[in-house]
Amino acid sequence: MTRGPMTRPPRPAAATGSTGSTGSTGSTGSTGSTGSTTTLDVRGLRVTLPGTARPVLDGIDLTVGSGETVALVGESGSGKTLTSRSALGLLPPGATTEGTVLVEGHDVLAMNADRLRVLRTDTVAMIFQDPRAALNPLRRIGDFLTESVCSARTGDRAMGRATATARAVELLDAVGLDDTALKKYPSQVSGGMLQRVMIAAALMGDPALLLADEPTTALDVTTQAEVIALLARLRERFGTGLLFVTHDLDLAAAISDRVYVMYAGRIVETGPAETLFACPRHPYTAALLASTPRLTTPGGRLAAIPGQPPDLRTTVPGCAFAARCPLATEVCDEHTPAPLQVSEGPVHLAACHHSDRLIGEGSAVDA
């Protein structure tokens, strides 16, 4: 994919000549599901916190290719945000980990503080859910945009104030704002404009991977549509891989190439967005789709998923969704299902003992 006028600065030796804990020397030869180079490659990620009876994240496998948008969906508490933050090495205090989180072939979990600083400045950026919580209300927007590339970078990687300002102006233009925003304080612009500023800030270091943690939740529907269209255009222009965290399935279907569905710290289904939403092969995915309000459906009560996700203080020997699943049998309570290919064509995996019972039923599973 052809990049725009801005080019990613060369990676410093400290970030490019190292290997992860698995001994990997990089992912030059690996490709994502779309045939592009793999930017993020999470393999067997297991995160355990003190005081819990089971892992918060339990064997996560996930990839994002360059120029690809991947959605990570699921209800609150499923582990979506923690999964995305692992790409920045932002894990809770006391967390113990297994597996690897490779960004451009280098294991984030094996990086020291200096290498993590380089990663967060140059390679991976995050757009948080609430832009007002991310900006200092006492600092001008221009200072917020230029600070990371002027102060956090050192030596040959440092960027002068004039160059940083020029880059900020270019990116503000790319997100639909003019240079007058540089002199404004966060309180002087709307929530939608602030989220555009956050997107521009995330792109200041020209990252290879962009993490968007429910970036449209606090926005009205019209502004939400504008931000989604903007992210799609910027992804195409800069060739950035995008991991989009959301609980909104319609939004995931509109923006993503592939989708991962999470439940209780596990990936329960993954596949191309069009295939997964047209023919879900895990009861949880089907139940989520069935509970989505539609203008075309009859009036009455919305479908709901009974029960609650399992408590982290209890162990789950089998399928974590079994207690809430209308298809559950004894085997579901006793054995954790492995993700298996459930359809012909592109990779479409579902971790369910009874995925064949959903063939042809789509989202009509009685939740």
pLDDT over threshold 50, residue 114: yes
Residues 6 or more apart in contact with residue 118 via CB below 8 angstroms: 12, 14, 15, 157
CA distance 143 to 180: 13
Highest mean pLDDT among 203-207, 238-242, 315-319: 315-319
Q: What is the pLDDT of residue 265?
A: 96
Do the beta carbons of residue 215 and residue 129 sit within 8 Å? Answer: yes
Q: What is the pLDDT of residue 315?
A: 92
In this predicted model, what pLDDT tens digit does every residue of 31-79 receive, in sequence order?
444 446 899 999 999 999 999 999 999 999 999 999 999 999 999 899 9
| Mean of pLDDT over the chain | 84
| Sole residue written with tokens 């300002």 | 165
CA distance 233 to 214: 18
Q: What is the pLDDT of residue 2?
A: 36
Residues 6 or more apart in contact with residue 265 via CB below 8 angstroms: 54, 55, 56, 57, 58, 60, 78, 79, 320
DSSP state, 121? I
Q: How far, in whole angstroms, is CA 226 from its chain's centroid?
A: 19
* The token pair that represents 245 in the structure block: 């965290």
Counting residues of the chain whose pLDDT is more than 90, the rounded percentage is: 58
CA distance 18 to 103: 12
CA distance 106 to 55: 24
Strand order across the beta sheet in which 38-48 lies: 57-65, 38-48, 96-103, 106-107
Phi first, then psi, for residue 294 (nearest 5°) are -130, 140
* Closest residue by Cα to residue 227 from 153, 158, 174, 175: 175
pTM for the model: 0.84
Q: Around 232, how many Cα atoms within 13 Å sit in the side-chain half-sphere?
A: 14
pLDDT over threshold 90, residue 105: yes
Q: How far, in whole angstroms, is CA 65 from its chain's centroid?
A: 12
pLDDT band at 158 (very low <50, low <70, confident <90, very high): low
Q: What is the pLDDT of residue 362?
A: 47
In this predicted model, what pLDDT tens digit does every residue of 288-327 receive, in sequence order?
998 888 777 667 778 889 999 999 999 999 999 999 999 9
DSSP reduced 3-state for 239: coil
